[in-house]
A and B are shown apart, each in its own frame.
Chain A
Amino acid sequence: MTDQAYNFAYLDEQTKRMIRRAILKGIAVPGYQVPFASREMPMPYGWGTGGVQVTAACLTPVDVLKVIDQGADDTTNAVSIRKFFQRTAGIAVTEATQEATIIQTRHRIPETSLTTGQILVYQVPIPEPLRFLEPRETETRKMHELEEYGLMHVKLYEDIARHGTIATSYDYPVKVEGRYVMDPSPIPKFDNPKLSDSPAIQLFGAGREQRIYALPPYTNVVSLDFDDHPFQPSKAPHDCDLCGAADSYLDEVITDDQGGRMFVCSDTDFCRSRRAAGHVGRLGSAAVEASE
């Protein structure tokens, strides 16, 4: 099924070598943004060109790939990237989190705990957490170098001053192993605690900004906060209407124009496996849903 016009996983071997070197450096210095020579990919910037390059550099023929977009396996971005690698690498794909060896993700960490040997690849739009406070790249690099991170707290201060609480709900800045402040990509802050002490390798690729950074397994990751305004992961105060899960991150779905709405797990694989196991939510019907 592999398209023979392309090298395995689309990128040529020298490019993959270059990206692997960046990844290794990133793993050696957790949270540090390693520049790399990002290639043109056959998809627009903002669709995960960074993540795709990292995935391509990590893939081997025996890997099983899962791609998620906002938690879902069946949205455009996820479907097209999955197809891309099926066609150019001929690897096996799956929607089950525990079966995958490489998971490329956009804006979510799967609800199912990751395990040793798995690689989670994030798509990152803007890797520099200080960017909106300090527009100069030379200056932000200097700030990382000298650990001048007071500015990051100015952002959180502004949140509290304006909203009474830290209103940043995604892209929530973290500090890695007490050293680098890192942008966790736009995952909801609900997912932030899962970054820390994960048995899986976490890689972050920003294609347009040409940066790769990484968290090796069991890295300590702390979300920034104030002593009197501690970090709080947040989610919609509901249970999933399909599977009844109380502890998963939820999407709000508008169902009609009469104000009707439902909350469903954003992680579709998690929701489906719960329904298959017989859990039923407020609006779900076990038999129909499970047979999907």
Chain B
Amino acid sequence: MTMMDRKLDAEHPLFQVQGLSKYYGSRIGCADVSFDLYPGEVLGIVGESGSGKSTLLSCLAGHLTPDTGRVIFDTAVGPRDTVIMAEAERRRMARTDWAFVHQNPRDGLRMGVSAGGNVGERLMAIGARHYGEIRGQAIDWLGRVEIAADRIDDRPSAFSGGMQQRLQIARNLVTAPRLVFMDEPTGGLDVSVQARLLDLLRGLVRDLGLSAIIVTHDLAVVRLLADRLMVMKDGRVVEQGLTDQVLDDPQHAYTQLLVSSVLQV
């Protein structure tokens, strides 16, 4: 089987999490989380504040070291446990095969560097050394996230919140990652900008065949983007399944509460 076949092969999970736990002293961050993510699949993680969503995402993305459990990613050389992988290798993977979209674009962008430099950074980090090509790709990606090409030399501080978030997405996707972690990607944006961003994200995920893990407390976001849904409470997964199934026919009491709490306009 060639590598291309492997990537598209829905038989092999892209990302496997087994028995992952993280404790802060005696407090639970997240406990005993397991799931498989297949290529092209989008997993939503919902739950209230403090339910361990962000802790889980940080453990998955390698920003935190879990206390127990395995996080297995299907790398170019086969499945590897990223928890015990050498740091150099994990960081290389984090800037090629993975991407991380922060809730606050200021955390994910370099505010003192122009939009083009922000998008080009990942390319330069993996060895691109041709200015013209880097700039060409930056312009291409700014176009894809609906930022005008003449803003390429402006700093992100001159951008609106929605533009900053789109710039952050472009900066992350420029190296064609296979797995994208998103932490509340629409948080802090007004509803119309949220809608456009969701539209854009949905298009990108579908066009590029990305796998994504999206942490959010906004059920509308997962309804639109996620194939599968995981509901967390107090650090544990209380329910998981297909998004529509979980949202339309919630089984767990907490999920029922969560779904019924959404304001109907």
**A binding-site residues for B, Cβ under 8 Å:** 133, 145-146, 148, 150-151, 153-154, 157-158, 160-162, 225-229
Say whether B131 contacts A228, CB under 8 Å: yes
Stretch in B75-83, B122-130, B198-206 touching the partner: B122-130
Say whether A226 contacts B113, CB under 8 Å: no
Of A145, A158, A226, which is within 8 A of B129 by CB? A226
Closest to B152 in A: A161
CB interface residues, B 84-122, toward A, < 8 Å: 87-88, 91, 110, 113-114, 116-117, 120-122
Say whether A158 contacts B126, CB under 8 Å: no
Which B residues are in CB contact (< 8 Å) with A226? 129-131
Which B residues are in CB contact (< 8 Å) with A160? 131
Known: A151-B125, A162-B153. A228 touches B132 (CB 8 A): yes
CB interface residues, B 116-156, toward A, < 8 Å: 116-117, 120-122, 124-126, 129-132, 134-135, 152-153
| Cα(A157)–Cα(B125), bound, Å | 12
Known: A148-B91, A151-B121, A162-B153. A157 touches B134 (CB 8 A): yes
Of A146, A151, A158, A225, which is within 8 A of B87 by CB? A146
Chain B interface secondary structure, helix, strand, loop or mixed? helix
Closest to A160 in B: B131
Which B residues are in CB contact (< 8 Å) with A228? 130-132
Say whether A154 contacts B117, CB under 8 Å: yes
| Cα(A160)–Cα(B129), bound, Å | 13
| Cα(A234)–Cα(B120), bound, Å | 27
Say whether B87 contacts A154, CB under 8 Å: no
| Cα(A106)–Cα(B77), bound, Å | 50
Which A residues are in CB contact (< 8 Å) with B116? 157, 161
Say whether A148 contacts B125, CB under 8 Å: yes
Which A residues are in CB contact (< 8 Å) with B122? 150
Q: Give me 26 A-to-B residue pairs in the complex whose CB atoms sit less than 8 angstroms apart, sorted by A's number.
A: A133-B110, A146-B87, A146-B91, A148-B91, A150-B121, A151-B125, A154-B113, A154-B117, A157-B120, A157-B131, A157-B134, A158-B113, A158-B114, A158-B117, A160-B131, A161-B135, A161-B152, A161-B153, A225-B129, A226-B129, A226-B130, A227-B130, A228-B130, A228-B131, A228-B132, A229-B131
